[in-house]
Amino acid sequence: MNYVLELEQIFDEHARRTAILHQELDATNRATAERDRDHAERTAAGLELVLAQAEEDEKARVAAEQRQAELNRIEAEAQEQRDAIARAAAARRANDVVVPYDDDDPEAEYYQRKSWLV
């Protein structure tokens, strides 16, 4: 038996199998890189759509908040005006009535009579 020849055959077989494995690994790496690029392109397009939709939603939310704030401000102003009118009317009514400030007032009977046709 020639051990040198047998060892050379083993090394040649090893080199051949290693080359095949490297080729398969390179092919797998290329396919993975291509799939990664395709996925990145699809994801980027989808992400742009999601970001655009989120931006539109945010603008709509801000606009709705501004409209609601304006409505609240207008309602508060209207309520303030109604309160001022009610206070003014109450003050006018309060000034129209003459009420004795003391039950011991000697003239109270005169002002509290039912009819002024005496």
- Residue 104, pLDDT score: 66
Mean pLDDT for the chain?
88
3-state helix, strand, coil in the chain (%, to 5): 85, 0, 15
CB 108 within 8 A of CB 100: yes
Question: Token pair for residue 87?
Answer: 């206070």
Residue ranges in the chain modelled with pLDDT below 70:
1, 96-106, 108, 118
- What pLDDT score does 118 carry? 57
pLDDT for res 95? 72
Instruction: Return the biggest CA–CA distance within the chain.
Output: 158
Task: Enumerate the domain spans of the chain.
Answer: 11-93
Cα separations in angstroms, 94 against 57, 80, 82, 91, 114: 54, 21, 18, 5, 20
Taking the whole predicted model, whether its pTM rises above 0.75 is answered as no
